[in-house]
Structure 1
């Protein structure tokens, strides 16, 4: 099934055929609407005059020029300066550690824990992002090493609607958004309950 993460046909087509663009989209999915984050790689490729993203090109790109590309308008991300730097660091890691071939991160990986470990070691990827991308690879890209669901934590659960890993159409995007809003509301209520009483 083709990816449907940005809800834009052309942007999703890039994510579908270019695994590095998909990794960049996951990196951009932070403090920014999910669809716009995953549309970011297509916007970046368009401004670079490319049909796909190249890790080597981005790793060696002039940092100041890359920030300007991120600024737009429209901006590739809400924080164009810091995210341009993060994308460049991610590209450099893919070049240095995987010879510019992002699929080497998961191709022939021994098990889900190793896949998670490799993703978690990437610049800009913490535990949660690495778990979500592990789930996305397993649920929508056919990357299913032994123990991948466990390595993805709750995001690996079948039939859940917790993250971008579960977005396959507009309806599932709505369910994921509802879940996230409920989580935020619960966290807010919890922090208020934990606050000391005034007076």
Structure 2
């Protein structure tokens, strides 16, 4: 089967919330020599993004969204293992990633972490509902280059602004680059709060993070 067919089936597996099917697709695609990064970015990540949009429009409910995320994880675990087996990549940078305080969702964060990891970026995932102080302390402790925060609810977006404000208040803003993402976030929001970048999806997150690492190295 062609890569294009596997990509189409990957999207369908996530939308249909079918973890066994997702794992089967990942395994078979790898066996046929398909590119795992492309399968992640053009297949499974598209499926989870569509489910996120459906959730936002009220077409699916939270249990379906959670199962879709589990479907994604069933595939990414297999694809990540294959990428690691291909050999260690030099670490290009370190990134802290977290879903902000008050937000219990982490839909899509896993695929972002998977894609960043495939490009030699060390990612420390702090999980969900993470306080600003904890995010900043983790960035200091791990000597991070970038802090990425995700807000899936409009009511929790202000936590991203709080992070920017706290970094400035502690004279740490120049030490870290910041990236914001999540369904309600936009480039306008990133500009308004002073974040260095906004990423709409996992593929864009990868591009933006790599760009930020280059600028930080200058």
- Is the shorter-chain TM-score for this pair beyond 0.5, marking a shared fold? no
Q: TM-score, normalised by structure 1?
A: 0.29
**By percentage of residues, which structure has more helix?**
1
